[in-house]
Amino acid sequence: MSNKVEIRRQRVSDAKRFFEILTNPNFIYFTANPKSMEDEKEWLRGNTLRRKQNFAHSFSILYKNDVAGGCGLKINQHRQHEGEVGYFVDEKYWGNGIATKAVKKLEKIGFGKLRLKRIIILMNPKNIASKKVAIKCGYKKEGLMKKAVFAKGKYHDVYLYAKVK
Ligand SMILES: CC(C)(COP(=O)(O)OP(=O)(O)OC[C@H]1O[C@@H](n2cnc3c(N)ncnc32)[C@H](O)[C@@H]1OP(=O)(O)O)[C@@H](O)C(=O)NCCC(=O)NCCS
């Protein structure tokens, strides 16, 4: 059994694991909570088009032969040299460095094949784990973006972390 962290393109067959992971009520700072398995499958089916349109590039995180989470890069459609990283990991694996390793791999794709010049990470200021992931991966805090994210009926401030090539 491999303890290594790998990332690969998401598959529709990952829906069951993603649904289990993302419906965790402890994901308080994460906004992509699928309503049903079919909802999740539909989202995963849309990945091919989003990738082809250079809208988003999504990956599953593999650990111990399990789908342990997901990560991806959303391309800024107004400034296509900039991508935003997102990530999540199953709670049962938290604190093992999985997100940090996955972001490092994702970044290689971003600065490499996708030719990005700037990668950003946004997070709720209270999301300590996410902040630590950004710092451990070498991202620098650029500031607080006021009311930048609309989620669950409200506008939220988010920290902006970034790395440039
Ligand atoms: C954020 C998340 C992806 C981190 O995944 P992970 O695999 O546990 O991350 P890592 O192990 O690489 O790093 C997390 C770090 O935060 C630390 N941490 C976690 N919760 C913490 C807390 N409440 N206070 C202080 N440190 C905390 C961990 O100890 C670890 O630091 P360390 O390596 O110095 O020990 C995971 O918590 C998650 O999926 N959360 C829900 C979804 C989410 O919020 N995604 C990010 C949206 S911006």
Q: In this predicted model, what pLDDT tens digit does every residue of 4-29 receive, in sequence order?
A: 999 999 999 999 999 999 999 999 99
- Measured in angstroms, how far is the CA atom of residue 72 from the centroid of ligand 1? 17
**pLDDT for residue 67:** 98
**pLDDT for residue 1:** 65
- Measured in angstroms, how far is the CA atom of residue 128 from the centroid of ligand 1? 7
CA dist., res. 146 & res. 112, Å (int)? 31
pLDDT at 41 over 70: yes
- Ligand 1 neighbours (beta carbon < 6 A): 27, 29-30, 87-89, 94-100, 123, 127-130, 132-133
Give, in order, the Cα–Cα distances in Å from 86 to each of 3, 52, 57, 119: 22, 19, 10, 11
Q: Which fold has domain 6-120?
A: Aminopeptidase (3.40.630)
- Measured in angstroms, how far is the CA atom of residue 8 from the centroid of ligand 1? 21
How many CA atoms lie within 13 Å of 146's alpha carbon, on the beta-carbon side?
Answer: 0
pLDDT tens-digit series, residues 93-128: 999 999 999 999 999 999 999 999 999 999 999 999
pTM equals 0.96
Query: Taking the domains of the chain in order of start, what are their residue ranges?
Result: 6-120
Give percent of the chain with pLDDT exceeding 90.
Answer: 93
Closest C-alpha to ligand 1, atom 24: 128
